[in-house]
Amino acid sequence: MHIEHYKGVFVIRYFYTLLLFLLSPLLLVTLYKKKPGKPPFGSRWKEHFGITPVLKNQSQRPIWVHTVSVGETIAATPFIRALKQQYPNIPIVITTTTSTGAQQAEKLSDIAEHRYMPIDLPFAIKGFLKAIKPQKMLIMETELWPNVLHYAHQSGAPISVINARLSERSAQRYKKFQPIFNLLANNLSQILCQHTDDAERFIRLGIKNNKIKITGSLKFDISITEEIKQKAQNLRATLGTNRFIWIAASTHEGEDDIILSAHQKLLIKHPNALLILVPRHPERFHNVLLLCQNKKFNTVSRTSNQPVNLTTEIYLGDTMGEMMTLIGASDACFIGGSLIGNKVGGHNVLEPAALSKPIMTGPSYFNFTDIVERLNSCRALSITKNDNDIFNTLDSLISNDEMESMGKAAKSFVESNQGAIAKTLRIIDEIH
pLDDT in the model for residue 6: 55
Predicted TM-score (pTM) of the model is 0.74
Please compute the mean of the pLDDT values over residues 270-293 and round it to a whole number.
Answer: 96
Is 314's pLDDT higher than 70? yes
The top-level CATH class assigned to 35-217+419-429 is: alpha beta
pLDDT in the model for residue 2: 52
Is 162's pLDDT higher than 60? yes
pLDDT in the model for residue 1: 40
Sign of the alpha-carbon torsion through 360, 366, 371, 375: positive
- Phi first, then psi, for residue 251 (nearest 5°) are -80, 150
Question: How far apart, in whole angstroms, are the C-alpha atoms of residue 339 and residue 252?
Answer: 9
What tens digit of pLDDT does each residue of 229-249 get?
999 999 999 999 999 999 999
Percent of the chain clearing pLDDT 70 (strictly above):
97
Please compute the mean of the pLDDT values over residues 335-361 and round it to a whole number.
Answer: 93
What tens digit of pLDDT does each residue of 354-413 get?
999 999 999 999 888 888 999 999 999 999 999 999 999 999 999 887 899 999 999 999
3-class secondary structure per residue, the chain: CHHHHHHHHHHHHHHHHHHHHHHHHHHHHHHHCCCCCCCCCHHHHHHHHCCCCCCCCCCCCCEEEEEECHHHHHHHHHHHHHHHHHCCCCCEEEEECCHHHHHHHHHHCCCCEEEECCCCCHHHHHHHHHHHCCCEEEEECCCCCHHHHHHHHHCCCCEEEEEECCCHHHHHHHHHCHHHHHHHHCCCCEEEECCHHHHHHHHHCCCCHHHEEECCCHHHCCCCCHHHHHHHHHHHHHHCCCCCEEEEEEECCCCHHHHHHHHHHHHHHCCCCEEEEEECCHHHHHHHHHHHHHCCCCEEEHHHCCCCCCCCCEEECCCCCCHHHHHHCCCEEEECCCCCCCCCCCCCCHHHHHCCCCEEECCCCHHHHHHHHHHHHCCCEEECCCHHHHHHHHHHHHHCCCHHHHHHHHHHHHHHCCCHHHHHHHHHHCCC
Please compute the mean of the pLDDT values over residues 323-334 and round it to a whole number.
Answer: 97
- In the chain, domain spans: 35-217+419-429, 226-416
CA neighbor of 151 nearest in space, from 50, 58, 69:
50
Residues recognised as catalytic: 72
Is 129's pLDDT higher than 90? yes
Options 3.90.780.10, 3.40.50.2000, 3.40.309.10, 3.40.50.10160; CATH of 226-416: 3.40.50.2000
94 alpha carbon, distance to own chain's centre: 15
pLDDT in the model for residue 7: 60
Is there a shared CATH topology between the 35-217+419-429 domain and the 226-416 domain? yes
Is 46's pLDDT higher than 80? yes
What tens digit of pLDDT does each residue of 400-421 get?
878 999 999 999 999 999 999 9
pLDDT in the model for residue 141: 85
Percent of the chain clearing pLDDT 90 (strictly above):
70
What tens digit of pLDDT does each residue of 172-190 get?
988 988 888 888 888 999 9
